[in-house]
Amino acid sequence: MQKSLGKSIIQNKYKYSFYVLFLLLALGQVVGIKLNVGHLYAYDIFAIVLALTILLHHSLNNALRGFTLFIGVAIISLVANYQIYTRNELLFSAFYLIRYVAYLVLANFFILKLELNTINRGIKVFAYMLVLTGILQLIFLPNLSTLDSSLGWDPHINRLSGALLDPNFMGAALGIILIYLVFEQISRVELGLISGAIILTFSRSAWLLLSTWALFYGILKNVKIIFLAILIAFLAYFAVPRIQTRLSTITDPADSAQYRLESWAKAINIAKDRPFVGYGFNGYRFIQKEYGYLEPGTLGDNDSGGSDASLLLVLATTGIIGLLSLIYGYTNAISSSKNRLVIFIITSALIINSFFINSLFYPQIMFVYFLLVGLLEKEKVRKI
């Protein structure tokens, strides 16, 4: 009796930690403070502390283990370049890697300790919280340009951004969750709620993420999905003028798409100088400063810490070796899964999305992705 009670208490402790982490992730920038060289967030601190308490007691499952190769290369790249950084810069750069390890460890831990229904419920609740914060933001803060410019946020207007204060990351996070839930279990209300929120982000990269899902699933499983997606896109295009505006301005020099091209060019230029092991993960903001790519006073801005393409960020900071090791992590995640089609589609959609925003290393996306990788390795989805 006492043993059963003790096990129940421990199980509840794991469950509460799981929900608290999701709550903090949903609160995004609300639980963060700006530093001279970036931001510090409560969810990262919570994740790192929690991961430290369990790191030595549990091994990673096969699907997640492939990412340890990238972690090893990232450590080597940073150590090999320690002389080009000050002590504070080195510590700040290492924090990104520590955070990456923390979310990987926690995803693995929760998969081992929690029931499938609990994890699915947590993922859904996280989506609800993102949508709720998005609705509140549209009501009370529709124009992000009213925020203090020193905080470094882009001036998005009338786009669902939530507490993340970025519609592109909001759209990508909800998109990854939506793809999984469509395969697992989702009601029409949930489908409409999450889909509607993604549309209201007016994020082209998020729309591309969902388009990738529709294309791959249509080709590999059911071609009707492609025609349905085209029909929905066609109707949305003519029903919502804002969508027409977002798509028609892609070639505008003042459009964000042009800034992404510049971001890619900077990352490639940096990577060319140290092609094999890069400059160390993730000292990218300090390297950009040395190359003269940052405007005065923007070292601490969010955009300064990474490239708009995650894989180019990896190439610049860990070189070709690091890039190949990360690609191996994703291919291993697919090959180790009981749901190869599902995780292939989710991974492909995320990687394509990551060419436009740094989504592979964004905590609210990274943690969910690691959860899904571990989950889909051992659990069959209900619909395929």
26-71 pLDDT, tens digit per residue, is 999 999 998 887 889 999 999 999 999 887 667 788 899 999 999 9
Q: What is the pLDDT of residue 345?
A: 96
**The tokens of 333 are what?**
């995640």
Asked if 267 and 315 count as a contact pair (C-beta separation under 8 A), the reply is yes
For residue 157, the SS3 value is: strand
CB 300 within 8 A of CB 38: yes
Residue 287, H or E segment: helix 284-291
pLDDT at 142: 96
Residue 284: both structure tokens together: 């990218």
- Is residue 250 very low, low, confident or very high in pLDDT (cuts 50, 70, 90)? low
> Cα–Cα distances in Å, from 255 out to 247, 249, 252, 259, 340?
10, 6, 5, 7, 37
CA distance 159 to 143: 8
- Residues 296-315 have pLDDT tens digits of 777 877 777 789 999 999 99
Residue ranges per domain, the chain? 2-378
Tell me what pLDDT residue 36 has: 80
Within 10 Å of residue 116's Cβ, how many Cβ atoms?
A: 12
198-217 pLDDT, tens digit per residue, is 999 999 999 999 999 999 99
User: What pLDDT is stored for residue 343 in this prediction?
Assistant: 96
- pTM for the structure as a whole: 0.94
Q: What is the pLDDT of residue 51?
A: 94
Q: What distance separates the 2 farthest-apart alpha carbons in the chain?
A: 69
How many other C-beta atoms can be found within 10 angstroms of the C-beta atom of residue 340? 13
Q: Between these two residues, 174 and 229, which has the higher pLDDT value?
A: 174
Q: Which residues contact 374 (CB under 8 A, 6 or more apart)?
A: 61, 63, 64, 107, 108, 111
Closest CA to 257 of 270, 246, 241, 268: 246
Q: Which residue has the higher pLDDT, 303 or 140?
A: 140
DSSP state of 32: E
Mean pLDDT of 74-100: 95
pLDDT at 383: 62
Instruction: Determine the straight-line distance between the first and last CA of the chain, rounded to whole angstroms.
Output: 41
| CA–CA gap between residue 375 and residue 346 (Å, rounded) | 13
Mean pLDDT rounded to a whole number for the chain: 90
